[in-house]
Structure 1
């Protein structure tokens, strides 16, 4: 494939916009689609430099109807987060340019630096990765932004939960009642809001060092429990319910502070787990595309049911 053909994989207006943000003498020499996300179209751009070398950028464009409705807010959050994180030691992309209202591109777009590494979703090695994830999340929560981001938003309600086929109605009914209660009081922290293995890059040589944390479109202010519960649920669905519980313990071992009471912890864990009942097919698809073919929607539903049951048993 020629350079021109590869560049054509980027929409024409976006390609021209990117070009205006390159250094003098630079040009795009390669384009690769990045997979794994569910809300945006991602392209890795290889840029030829004036000196004859290359560097890489990432272009994110929000193209589906739901994302388009939220693009300006999400891009605003992400730009603010990347600006906040610059120089903190948290391995986040560097901001290059943003077009939140699609004034220049076909769709709302973000251009940022590319981070080396890869996502790791396999069962093998999860025991070594969980403490690394926990330490990284604790470091994110330790960031003190000069300007507080928008408060977190929880979209799931007791009336939108989808009880999986074959699940224990009494257990799920009790879990649903938990989130009918008002959210507990909390001490605010800087949140990623979608911190989980799919948004964490590991060193490609060993997978025992985190090289990047991506997708800051949900960056928020709220309780640490929100991020911990979210990553716990994902780990439970990827690797089994016990890993959700082990992550919360690893987070505390890393110095993170969770809600003080059993009831408060149960609220946040249950709320996040129930949210996944509404989007099992959506979250399972990129996992299968990444090679976890056994994670069919039905398989993930069963794991979700097992995890909700274990959370209710653990914190009752």
Structure 2
């Protein structure tokens, strides 16, 4: 089997577990590491079929992480729920959330066509598609028993890291915003980590009119909470990837696509600021995979400067 000893190699117990979930006559013929996973090891598993062809699966493995069981349970529940909807997600094949059979907690799923697209070129065509996809996710209405756990936010006013050179008055005002209680909200099914790095695109022919989303991946943080929180998270990521103005634009596109946000400007600002300030603690972690995907100009300092400008823009916005 190719890459038996390389970065894409699958550990022996896990490989045997994968094999038990293949169809009769199938076998693993190749494994390779995939880029983009910030919380888990991701591998493409190529399976040889009885007819001589192949098909691909994706193996997600959490190594030495205390949250692995919760994350895999959330992802399993989300994939099972979304299989009955029009949201394009991987199909669930198997999960070993407690590492009973594998060396580490693992999940096996189908492979989706397409790729993540992070470059600036074509962003004006992708942002509306991202917004419409998030509206579709929030339109999913699971029964109470199928809802994922309530959302969690860990950032507090005391953990925010104000970037060097930031508008200190604007940032102080932003921190004051999250000192208050969270606004009331109507619960929605959330991806909770929806951003361009977790969306796959495919353009079968030249031109933006052919662009389409082929998949939404990484459901390990699926939650129940306010739509504003999902929107705010994508706004922040788009602002850091493409510039602060695009963060503001994404929220506008979400509403134009039929999405409903909090009724008052103050409530919207709370969620927008809460998410942006949360990333102040994770600039290095956020920017590293973007550089690995080819956006080498997005150094930690550049991303930090964009975050500083985005928070200031939020605080300076009318209303």
Same fold (TM over 0.5): yes
Greater shift, 141-150 or 305-314, is seen at 141-150
Q: How many angstroms apart in 2 are the aligned matches of 1:218 and 1:5?
A: 31
Q: Say which of 95, 102, 110 aligns to 1:105.
A: 102
Aligned to 1:60: 60
Task: Check if 1:46 corresponds to 2:46.
Answer: yes
Aligned to 2:297: 294
Aligned to 2:172: 173
Q: 1:174 to 1:48 in 2, by over 3 A?
A: same
Aligned to 1:164: 163
Q: Deviations over 1:57-95 (max 9, x none)?
A: 0000011x4xx1101111111111001001201000110
Q: Say which of 83, 89, 94 aligns to 1:92.
A: 89
Figure out how many residues of one structure are paired with residues of the other and give that number: 313
Aligned to 1:274: 277
After TM superposition, the score normalised by the length of structure 1 is 0.96
Alignment of 1:1-316 (within 5 A): 2=2, 4=4, 9-63=9-63, 65=64, 68-146=65-143, 147-206=146-205, 208-315=211-318
Q: 1:127 to 1:254 in 2, by over 3 A?
A: same
Contact (CA 8 Å) 1:266, 1:315: kept in 2 or not? Answer: no
| Structure 1 unaligned spans of 5+ | none
Q: 1:269 to 1:8 in 2, by over 3 A?
A: closer
Q: Deviations over 1:148-202 (max 9, x none)?
A: 2111111111111111111122111110010010000001111000000000000
| Structure 2 unaligned spans of 5+ | none
Contact (CA 8 Å) 1:192, 1:218: kept in 2 or not? Answer: yes
Greater shift, 225-234 or 98-107, is seen at 98-107
Q: How many angstroms apart in 1 are the aligned matches of 2:236 and 2:128?
A: 16
SS at match of 1:282: helix
RMSD: 1.5
Contact (CA 8 Å) 2:90, 2:215: kept in 1 or not? Answer: yes
